[in-house]
Each structure stands twice: as C-alpha cells, then as structure tokens.
Amino acid sequence: MAAIPVNFLILFSFVALLFSSSHGQLSTNFYPTTCPSLPVIVHGAMTKALILDSRIAASILRLFFHDCFVNGCDASILLDDTATFTGEKNAFPNARSVRGFEVVDTIKLLVEASCSGVVSCADILALAARYGVVLQGGQSWTVPLGRRDARTASQSDANSQLPAPSSNLSTLISSFSAKGFTAAEMTVLSGAHTIGQAGCENFRNRIYNQTNIDPDFAITRRANCPSTIGSGDRNLAPLDVQTPTRFENTYFQNLVDQRGLLNSDQSCSITDLKMQWFRHIVKTMLSF
C-alpha cells in the first residue's frame, strides 16, 4: 500500500478547539489588518529552518503539543525560569528532549520587524507547527488565532500532566481524558508520530523486554541502543522507520505490525486493544 498523506484536519483540529477556551475567543481571521504578512513570514522561516535541520518540523510540532497539553496553548513552554517560578522547559518530559526554541525566537524577531507588538508567541508556535507538517507532506488545516501568551509557567504541572513514552494504555486514556479527548481521538492524535525521532532511553525497555514487538524490528533498533542504562541513552531512532520525514499514514500500519517504537504508541495497537473504535480508526487512517 502506498503511503498517503494523513488528513491533519482530523489529527489536530481537536487540539486547536479543545484548548482554545483558556484564551478567549479565537478567530481564523485575527490578523488581516494588523499583521497581514504573518503567514508568509512563518512559512518562509519554517522552510529555511527545515533546510538546515530535517528534524525541525517534528520538533516544533512536539513543542506545540507539549505547550498545549499543560494548561493550554499559551507559549508557557517557551518561558525561562525566574525568581518567582520554575517553568516547563526543564520538567522531566521536556529536559534534554524538546527543541526548536531558537526557531520560534527567529520567527518572533521577523514578525516583530514587520508588525511590532501584535502577534503572540503562542500564535507563532501554532502556525509554525502547521507549516512544518505541510512542508513534510501533510495536509494543511485552519489555525484559530488570537491566543495570549502566559506570564508564568509550572514545572510541576508539566511533570504531572504530560504523558511519558513508557505510559501504558490506561495511563494514556486517563491523561487524555483529563484534557477532553476520547480514547479514539487520542489514537488519532498519536499519528503525529509519523515524523520525528526518539532517544534510546525512551524505547530501551520496549526493544529488550516487551513481547508485543516484531522481532526483526527489535533487533534492528538494538543495533544503536545498548541494553545498559546510561549507554547510548541519547542515540536516536525514527518513530516511523519507513518514512521518518514524511507526514503520512504508515505510522498506523506500523502499529498493526507491532513496529511502534514507543510503548505509549504500541499501547494503542490492535494487539493490545481489542476495541471496535481502534479497528475503525486504523482502517480509516489507512484508507486515505
């Protein structure tokens, strides 16, 4: 089956809608007069960034998701620690992991040069995530704008709210349910892992100790991920080994074939979850 771009409207429209309430009324036509060049600036900057770093689209998408999942899409993940709060950047799920801050900073400088004091960092991050996906072959989607940037951030909230790569199914369902997502929506959202990479420390246990994994896939991944904790922890492997830089539907076929790299991804697999909604989701995503 040929890989076909996933309809990202299905994947992340949930994020834009469910997290919008914490920012007041959003609009798809928020900056037409105050910053009409915004889309062109963000698209151009992401195009240049992707030429320099093939991982950056996935990194920005992850940055956006980690921001939104902790108290809404308010750019709080971008804030450095201050004397009054310890922020999200160095929370356990983010430390040594989230990246792309410098790209957001660059885009912000370009936007400020064109329309100073108008566009929030939260909106810039949301647009950058969209254009990153589009530039890697994914379909575009409408981004509601008008978010306001947070003035504070909470490391403890990030530690407690963000799901871990090792999470099992019940933990994942609980985490996403707390944010207003159904189990089916959670599974669809996991399709964002069609691009990006993970460090050995995040999938070591899966490739050495779990049984719901394709043996050949496990052997391949072990070649660059030693079994000893602390050895090669940051060695990277693609989340989707077939098309790691293309946003399409092979991620879901990988789950069916027990080739999900992370336990949190494979926990949504048809082997572990004998539920009709999962079968329907996979069939739908593979039919695009």
24 annotated to a ligand binding site: no
193 annotated to a ligand binding site: yes
**Does residue 246 contact residue 193 with C-beta atoms inside 8 Å?**
no
Cβ atoms within 10 A of the Cβ of 76, count?
Answer: 26
76 annotated to a ligand binding site: yes
Q: Which amino acid is at 227?
A: S
Rounded to whole angstroms, the Cα distance separating 9 from 151 reads: 30
137 annotated to a ligand binding site: no
185 annotated to a ligand binding site: no
123 annotated to a ligand binding site: no
Q: DSSP secondary-structure letter at 3?
A: -
70 annotated to a ligand binding site: yes
66 classed as catalytic: yes
Identify the three-state secondary structure at position 251: helix
How far does the chain reach from its first CA to its final CA, in angstroms?
11
205 CB contacts (<8 Å, ≥6 apart)? 166, 263
254 CB contacts (<8 Å, ≥6 apart)? 240, 241, 242, 260
15 annotated to a ligand binding site: no
Name the H helices within the chain.
8-18, 38-52, 56-69, 101-114, 121-135, 155-161, 169-177, 183-189, 200-209, 215-222, 250-256, 263-266, 276-286
Rounded to whole angstroms, the Cα distance separating 279 from 274 reads: 8
DSSP codes, 16-43: HHHTGGGG---BTTSSTTT-TTHHHHHH
102 annotated to a ligand binding site: no
47 annotated to a ligand binding site: no
282 annotated to a ligand binding site: no
Rounded to whole angstroms, the Cα distance separating 54 from 51 reads: 6
Out of 23, 43, 66, 280, the active site residue is: 66
Q: Annotated binding site for substrate: which residue ranges? A: 163
Q: Annotated binding site: which residue ranges? A: 67, 70, 72, 74, 76, 88, 163, 193-194, 240, 243
Q: Annotated binding site for Ca(2+): which residue ranges? A: 67, 70, 72, 74, 76, 88, 194, 240, 243
Q: Annotated binding site for heme b: which residue ranges? A: 193
The residues assigned a catalytic role are 66
